[in-house]
A and B are shown apart, each in its own frame.
Chain A
């Protein structure tokens, strides 16, 4: 399906994500500097703030998914979610600088993100025909990632011209966030309810759980989440294995999203043509390759080419995991359970990642990074094999609902 034929909601949601992501990545990137140089707090406080950032709001995602199923008012939920994040940025400008207020504001922003994520993916999935789901999610994630690249660049440029201009960064961030809200409020439409629209159900989770294919996706997303190390961890391991200068690490934080950005739409198209499951297998195999290369890099002396290969594989993994997973899940879910269904999967991935990071940290501090990475590789290889066997034995479970 041609991109231009994807329909206005897809483009509008993508545009909103672009400006909103620029807005929030501006903040995320300057927050450590703001704490250190403006608030003059110790690095230790950062751990707390970052924890709030990454803690995610799994429960909020699930609840807002349930709400969007019940009332089918995606637009209103989106406006609330994007609105809360915009208000939190206004809060940054109005309240004085202190760690406490910063924590409150960051928390509000994350709640907003939790509220909007599920209805946004739900509305995206309802705005395109099923054979174009991969492309639509690919387009949306490409815009989202572009925001993640542009945000820090914009923030640091502002600080370059106004060295103490953290408030200026907050102001520009607020402006972008409110334009995002305005796009939602002005242009985005709820899907037309046909005369045969199914009313909301009771106990949607129980009904979902009885679906073998969906249940497998939830379990797989959680387990694969468990086997996913954070970016910073992967970069750190690569650095110690490949011995490139530590000063290159910031470049990796830009290079990986650029690969993601470049591959997101083509991978989505391929997923629509060849099926979502094969693409997901390729995606997690790419991640496995990153782990294995990282764990064995000390034995093969191939500094730069190996680094480029790793970054490309990692970018490929991102481009072919989140969006494709949502596209696959959407195909399995009837409209009246889509919100809860998508919410549960994204909450599963998030919770899995959080727990995985904790477990990995424990392994790292006891046995060092090499052992931790090998354990992670083993766990991921095992999970992938299980998933593959399951799909081959029960292919009919993953056919889309009518």
Chain B
């Protein structure tokens, strides 16, 4: 009796183990080529003219990257299974078809013209929990900075002097709520300049104090020593305008998260929270203070948008259920208040876009 029980249990355990092993094996990355390559940009994904996923990897020589860079292009983070988290460069004219996948793996990414910032989770090694990698034009790592949390937002200024990393620190707060840390970095030296929570916060000239200040979603102006960002305190979010040299920020308006400044410096697009905790994209005209909702996009958008041009923004959307490979795509919306253009898919299976002309 006893031994038959043991036998039954053994059989069950064996079956469970075999099934699990089968499941794990099936999900191991299909291509091993990726790990053998040495150069940061030695991997190419073949161009796939159809919108089918999983283009097969083909090696390419470095000149392919430069060929793509001659015309306007976009950097993004691929979420295709074989390339998960790798930075890709694609032609702006056909981002799903003409693209090159690099070896650089990131969870958040932002690129200027010759420099970029890549935030990568490092929990496998316990500490540091994450790293910011400052990369050069070849996407080779120049500086590494330790970060204390989950990568959330990354931006580099257009003159490539400053970069900023926001991490989300789990359980770093007294009420299991969320808490963020936003660190300004000097791109040239790789040194942290300041944590935004060290900056003086002013509202209508008066200084504010609270132990619960959280900053995130920095966007730099063309004069990169100035920026816009989100400040959260006591359950509300505010748009703030900051100055790195003066180490202070000024509160401008309420219910603004993750602002992003247009290349012509005229508009901010940000997400604004609805009572049901969804977000809608809003635009703000900095000259006259007019604010309007981008009503063409009726889904909740939880991203810091990137600008395609002075009239269009890019953002990621998780479309319904399914594998992220299929569901996570970059969309494009016009900011025109007349809202004549419908939103459409811009790039498949990707996030963290940065456009370069």
A residues neighboring B (CB under 8 Å): 32-33, 36-44, 46-47, 50-51, 54, 95-98, 156-165, 167-168, 171-172, 175, 178-179, 182-183, 186-187, 230-233, 236, 245-251, 254, 357-358, 360-361, 364-365, 368-369, 372
Contact = CB atoms under 8 A, between A and B. Distances in A.
Interface in B111-140: 121, 123-124, 126-129
B298 to A, nearest CB: 18
B143 interface: no
A252 to B, nearest CB: 10
A43 B124 contact: no
A386 to B, nearest CB: 26
A40 B351 contact: yes
B9 A47 contact: no
B178 A43 contact: yes
B318 A39 contact: yes
B16 interface: yes
Interface string B1-41: 00001101100110011011001100111000000000000
5 contacts: A36-B152, A97-B322, A160-B124, A247-B146, A365-B210
B149 to A, nearest CB: 8
Contact of A44 (B210, B212, B277): B277
A365 B174 contact: yes
A179 B318 contact: no
A54 B107 contact: no
A186 B211 contact: no
A250 B172 CA distance: 11
A158 B124 CA distance: 9
A66 B313 CA distance: 59
B23 A171 contact: yes
B346 interface: no
B124 A364 contact: no
A364 B150 contact: no
Contacts of A365: 174, 210-212, 234
B79 interface: yes
Contacts of B147: 247
Shortest 8 CB-CB contacts between residues of A and residues of B: A96-B321, A232-B171, A246-B148, A247-B128, A43-B178, A175-B20, A361-B174, A164-B84
A213 B183 CA distance: 54
Contacts of B85: 163-164
A39 B322 CA distance: 10
Contacts of B81: 164
B24 A232 contact: no
A46 B178 contact: yes
Interface of B: 5-6, 8-9, 12-13, 16-17, 19-20, 23-24, 27-29, 79, 81, 84-85, 105, 107, 121, 123-124, 126-129, 146-148, 150, 152, 168-178, 180-181, 210-212, 234, 277, 279, 302-303, 316, 318, 320-322, 324-325, 328, 351
Contacts of A41: 302
Given A168-B27, A175-B20, A183-B9, A236 B152 contact: no
Contacts of A233: 174
B176 A50 contact: yes
A164 B5 contact: no
A179 B168 CA distance: 35
B277 A186 contact: no
B321 A98 contact: yes
A43, A165, A172 pick with most chain B CB within 10 angstroms: A43
A358 B175 contact: yes
A232 B84 contact: no
Contacts of A251: 126-127
A275 to B, nearest CB: 35
B150 A162 contact: no
B84 A163 contact: yes
A249 B148 contact: yes
A391 to B, nearest CB: 32
A357 B351 CA distance: 37
A363 to B, nearest CB: 9
B24 A171 contact: yes
A179 B12 CA distance: 8
A185 to B, nearest CB: 9
A160 B152 CA distance: 19
A175 B171 CA distance: 28
A333 B120 CA distance: 53
A251 B148 CA distance: 12
Nearest to A246: B148
B302 A42 contact: yes
Contact of A250 (B84, B127, B324): B127
Contacts of B176: 47, 50-51, 54, 230, 232, 357
Contacts of B79: 164
B148 A247 contact: yes
Contact of A97 (B152, B170, B321): B321
Nearest to B22: A171
A360 B173 CA distance: 11
Give the most central of B147, B303, B321, B322: most A CB within 10 Å.
Answer: B321
Given A51-B176, A163-B84, A168-B23, A178 B16 contact: yes
Contact of B27 (A36, A167, A247): A167
B316 to A, nearest CB: 6
Nearest to B146: A247
Contacts of A167: 27
B19 A43 contact: no
Contacts of A360: 174
A186 B27 contact: no
Nearest to B178: A43
A97 B327 CA distance: 10
Given A164-B325, A168-B27, 11 more contacts: A40-B302, A157-B124, A162-B27, A167-B27, A175-B20, A187-B5, A236-B174, A246-B169, A249-B129, A250-B129, A357-B176
A365 B176 CA distance: 13
A145 B210 CA distance: 37
Contacts of A158: 24
Given A41-B302, A236-B172, A251-B126, A187 B9 contact: yes
A41 B300 CA distance: 10
A36 B129 contact: no
A251 B128 CA distance: 9
B124 A159 contact: yes
Contacts of B17: 175
A182 B9 contact: yes
B174 to A, nearest CB: 4
Contacts of B210: 365
Contacts of A36: 150, 152, 168
A97 B85 CA distance: 19
A159 B120 CA distance: 13
B341 to A, nearest CB: 24
A47 B177 contact: yes
A172 to B, nearest CB: 6
Contacts of A186: 5-6, 8-9
